[in-house]
Structure 1
């Protein structure tokens, strides 16, 4: 299962972004999400929020500023690797390349890349970072982020995400967080009959001191063992949640919980794209109506273009309405999408009653047929895919280590 590798590039040389992006295009085995910063101050804030696996920083004449930045980052993100970018013509007449690199090592830089950047050298650095990063992360494995998305409201996305989070939490009490990132229309708290005193906006406002402990304190607990980070109380507060805040919250969440379920707003804005970047799996929820089928057919390739490949997508048909004459069949929808559904949720009228009462239906549903059966299958897949992802990372680590030259 291919996951995104997050890279922060620091420098203000003309053409750096174009050069780095061009070199990355020749790197095969990694899907990279890259962000750029021109100053150390901006880079430190981005590093704190996004927690990249690799930081590539230009080495210029400001070695003092470089050392201060790398020391701060190393203390803040000990699992992050730092690589130095340098030009050989930077050296003074009395300074050798080895002496320059030694200064970089003293600044806690672990790898080096020369301008002009080449795909081969970047690939080698990524290989080393991957092995090193997986070795460190094995001591403290990250949780898995699962997102539920759609291209329109009313398809039952929130109903499914809330019920799946509750079922997952009933199997793993205290290890599941539901993040209501449907910022404008979040209904998770209502569907759980909870009245949270804090929301995701409080996490944004406390970003200067936000850590794993505070994040838990900002959630509200449900009796099934689920923790909820609620949506903002109104649209004005929702505007305070930006992509950097979402990066920070979700990165902390997956260090605090084994599973993080994210319900999203039906619009591809920067916040939702951030959720996609960090998601291990994305469940695309849709109805079987013709307008929604056409919309989903357009959405799926867009998701892939945004860094959510087909193998990380799960297509969910939610039949949240009674059957009627002329209703599209599952086969007809799959032919239009040229994709098969991973899960189909049949109509269940009790869902509306449970939603009104704030009682998740899945906690009382049978696991042998109907909505309950589909729910148990989906949650079982989340558990299995998470286990497979961990096993794949271990196998990849072993293969990479075996390929290391003696």
Structure 2
């Protein structure tokens, strides 16, 4: 550890006692420069404005009131990695911390060794990112530092989640200047590779063996190219292999892909699973898929309530209406009224061509580019890209 460059760390503790305890711990970590310690958000913000820190170690406060502050820091100072300190290990607190932008979560009382390991892991990630950029000038530069993560989700089966994921990826890949990767995180029943007529040599499990050495270059060697221009990271062929995958693995994988791809499309499972929660936390846009069916719309309404309870940013949610039948009983307006949320994109209905494209392993937007559904995918992509530009 002697050769590690000192990292600039700011501490925002929950109490004076905690501040003193943690500063004493940090004295024993020789690769840390404590640039400031406080229990006051305003003082910490002033310190960040004077000179951005590498790490902000902060408590969530007893009532979780500091999540908003963490989210503000992660947006304003993206180079500062946040380590959140929680009072207890609960699924809700983990979600809140990740959605607020935390890179890692520690539980009180803080174990000095776990604190040291957390800081060192973040240091390694930052060093690896810097080396990758220095050694790979041939990679195309993007307007934004990291690629956009489009997470495709629904807790209702049969709504066409994988179909939307595949065609969204293929539609974005029509721009030759953009690099697109499709990640199948439906670890138990993922069939994105099958729907693209691909026979995986590697799956997500193979990456885990190299996870400690993972970077944007190494992960690319595990991806499968498709004729549409996208690259694919398949789910496991054997669900029992998923026992070896955890949330930290998924976080590292997605972060590595964001470094070299303009768009990372994530096909999620049809339920909340702790392992794949980083795909929600890292999502720039969360595409919630529904169909104009009463059961599907009601299911999505419950999902939206759950996301709100988890403090997921509502501004990131996009409602996508698949299989819209203009002659059907349930119209887009009905869906919007039930959900109390506008439909951001409508795909349409064409059973014959959709089934043909899935059976042939060719995205509909690639095989039938002039089809109405393909045009709708193009409109959806244009709208979402424009939304991101307006945010920037």
Normalised TM-score (structure 2): 0.68
1:7-406 to 2 correspondences below 5 Å: 19=61, 22=64, 24=66, 27=69, 30=72, 35-36=84-85, 73-74=122-123, 76-78=125-127, 141-172=145-176, 175-319=179-323, 327-349=329-351, 350-367=353-370, 370-389=372-391, 392=392
> Could you give the per-residue CA deviations for residues 374-404 of structure 1, whole angstroms, max 9, x where no partner exists?
1001111233234334xx2xxxxxxxxxxxx
Counterparts of 1:29 and 1:252, CA distance in 2:
22
CA–CA distance in structure 1, aligned partners of residues 256 and 198 of structure 2: 23
Task: Give the Å deviation of 1:306.
Answer: 2.5
**Which structure: larger Rg?**
1
Alpha carbons 2:85, 2:107 under 8 Å: kept: no
CA RMSD of aligned residues (A): 4.0
CA distance in 2, matches of 1:221, 1:331: 39
- The aligned counterpart of 2:95 is none
CA deviation after TM superposition for structure 1 residue 273, in Å: 2.5
Q: Taking structure 1 as reference, are residues 66 and 298 closer, same or farther at Cα in structure 2, changes over 3 Å only?
A: closer
Shift in Å, 1:366: 4.0
1:97 corresponds in structure 2 to none
Residues 71 and 139 of structure 1, relative CA distance in 2, 3 Å threshold: farther
Unmatched runs of 5 consecutive residues or more in structure 1: 1-6, 39-50, 81-136, 393-406
Distance 1:166 1:144 in 2: 15
Give unpaired runs (5+ residues) of structure 2: 1-9, 23-57, 75-81, 88-100, 130-140
- The Cα shift of 1:238 comes to 2.4
Mapped contact 2:324–2:346 kept (Cα < 8 A): no
Give distance in 2, aligned partners of 1:318 and 1:139: 31
- Give the match's secondary structure for 1:208: helix
Q: Displacement of 1:260 after TM fit?
A: 0.4
Relative to the length of structure 1, the TM-score reads: 0.66
Q: Secondary structure at the match of 1:141?
A: coil
> Residues 37, 209 of structure 1: CA spacing in aligned structure 2 closer, same or farther, 3 A cutoff?
farther
Aligned-partner Cα distance in 1 for 2:142–2:177: 22
